[in-house]
Amino acid sequence: NEDLRKRWLVAIKRDLPFNIRTAKVCSMHFREGEFFQNIVSGRRMLQDNAVPSVFAFKK
């Protein structure tokens, strides 16, 4: 989803190029309501439309 990808890049304040395949964002950068519990594995998973929004960037 190109729109979601752009929203992520804006949120994490990153421009291309960087290695999207190895880049990671810590779960602490998401609000609690953006997760759900996977019924099969029991793991906490991100919702498909989640965008990182919890940061302490300096202005």
Please check whether residue 58 lies inside any domain of the structure: no
Please check whether residue 26 lies inside any domain of the structure: yes
Higher-confidence residue: 33 or 58? 33
Query: How many domains would you assign to the chain?
Result: 1
Beta strands in 4-51 (DSSP E): 35-37, 44-46
* Cα distance between residue 14 and residue 8, in whole Å: 9
List of residues 6+ apart from 27 with CB closer than 8 A? 35, 44, 46
Please check whether residue 52 lies inside any domain of the structure: no
Decide if pLDDT at 41 tops 90. yes
Domain hosting residue 16, numbered range: 2-46
What are the structure tokens assigned to 4, written together? 């979601």
Please check whether residue 59 lies inside any domain of the structure: no
Please check whether residue 40 lies inside any domain of the structure: yes
Bond from prior residue into 52 cis (ω within 30 degrees of 0): no
Tens of pLDDT, residue by residue over 23-35, are 888 999 999 999 9
Please check whether residue 34 lies inside any domain of the structure: yes
Decide if pLDDT at 52 tops 90. yes
Please check whether residue 51 lies inside any domain of the structure: no
Please check whether residue 8 lies inside any domain of the structure: yes
Q: Are 18 and 42 in contact (CB under 8 A)?
A: no
